[in-house]
Amino acid sequence: MTDTSLAPTGRTTPAAARDLAVEMIDVNKWYGDFHVLKAIDLEVKKGEKIVICGPSGSGKSTMIRCINRLEEHQAGRIIVDGIELTEDLKRIDEIRRDVGMVFQHFNLFPHLTILENCTLAPIWVKKLPKREADEIAMHYLRRVRIPEQANKYPGQLSGGQQQRVAIARSLCMSPKIMLFDEPTSALDPEMVKEVLDTMVGLANEGMTMLVVTHEMGFARQVADRVIFMDAGQIIESNEPNAFFANPQHERTKLFLSQILH
């Protein structure tokens, strides 16, 4: 899972940056006239877990979606696992293979079974033989504790189960970095825990994680750093205890007072 050894071809960064999983340098992005990301600087070390919070519309999703190029940035540099994101489609593919992503609305493929959802990318992107892909998929489905659902369709599962499948589906590609965009916000309250537990397990194994969430319990438990964003900027970044006990900025205080009652 946390194989950090071999670097594939096309690496451009110096050896000093080797232990960085993600590096964002002065990243800016606009939607038309609207400045969504303003001078974002962020370094994520390998194995680090980062929780990102902030008010709705502050640019959290946009920021993490830039990391796997679901969104394009217009200025600055983003270097993922030593590969700089450019127009080059090969590099984008290479990065997407290393970066898993879990979405708020799961985005499972409704026309494929759970097992097929999990084996699709290993077979078609990694070119694994079907049998091997099946084994890997079953391994991860067991880990997220739903192997018995393998032959059902996503529509037959509960939200919590679907999100766990989405996590398993990403893990099947053996990513080095996992991005989570509000993975529990679309779930009924009683299902939040099962998904968070899965994520805690993943964190304990040393996965590099960037998690957009408002689950502050999760942040306290696993985060190495909590980042607060507002209006397209990173306002504050600190380790969780200090972040919650002693927020530095007014806006952080206001935000925390609203979500922690």
Ligand X SMILES: Nc1ncnc2c1ncn2[C@@H]1O[C@H](COP(=O)(O)OP(=O)(O)O)[C@@H](O)[C@H]1O
Q: Torsion over CA of 100, 149, 197 and 97, rounded to 10 degrees?
A: -10
C-alpha dist (Å) from residue 150 to 68, 134, 187: 28, 10, 21
Task: Verify binding: residue 58, ligand X, rule CB under 6 A.
Answer: yes
Residue of 223, 224, 231 lying closest to 255 (CA atoms):
231
> What tokens does 166 get?
């989405």
Residue nearest to ligand X (CB): 61
Interface pick for other proteins out of 77, 105, 220, 253 (rule CB under 8 A): 105
Q: CA-based angle 219:225:226, to the nearest 5?
A: 60
Task: Verify binding: residue 129, ligand X, rule CB under 6 A.
Answer: no
Residue 74 interacts with which of ligand X, other proteins, Mg ion, none, CB < 5 to 8 Å by class? none
Residue 124 interacts with which of ligand X, other proteins, Mg ion, none, CB < 5 to 8 Å by class? other proteins
For the bound state, the minimum distance from the C-beta of residue 232 to ligand X, rounded and expressed in Å, comes to 7
Task: Verify binding: residue 68, ligand X, rule CB under 6 A.
Answer: no
Interface pick for other proteins out of 109, 158, 201, 231 (rule CB under 8 A): 109
Q: Which helix (H) or strand (E) holds 139?
A: helix 130-143
Residue 261 interacts with which of Mg ion, ligand X, other proteins, none, CB < 5 to 8 Å by class? none
User: Residue 100 and residue 155: Cα distance in Å, rounded?
Assistant: 22
101 within 8 A of 170, measured Cβ to Cβ: yes
Q: How far is CA 10 from the centre of its chain?
A: 23
- Residue ranges of the alpha helices (H) in 177-239? 189-204, 216-222
Sign of CA dihedral 149, 153, 154, 156: negative
Task: Verify binding: residue 162, Mg ion, rule CB under 5 A.
Answer: no
What backbone torsions phi and psi does residue 209 show, to the nearest 5 degrees? -135, 135
Interface pick for Mg ion out of 58, 61, 68, 198 (rule CB under 5 A): 61
Residue nearest to Mg ion (CB): 61
Cβ proximity to Mg ion: between 5 and 56 the closer is 56
Residue 203 interacts with which of other proteins, Mg ion, ligand X, none, CB < 5 to 8 Å by class? none
Query: Residue length, the chain?
Result: 261
For the bound state, the minimum distance from the C-beta of residue 256 to other proteins, rounded and expressed in Å, comes to 30
Residues engaged in binding Mg ion (CB under 5 A): 61
Residues engaged in binding other proteins (CB under 8 A): 68, 70, 89, 93, 96-97, 99-101, 103, 105, 107-111, 120-121, 124-125, 153-156, 169-170, 173
Residues engaged in binding ligand X (CB under 6 A): 31, 34, 36, 54, 56-62
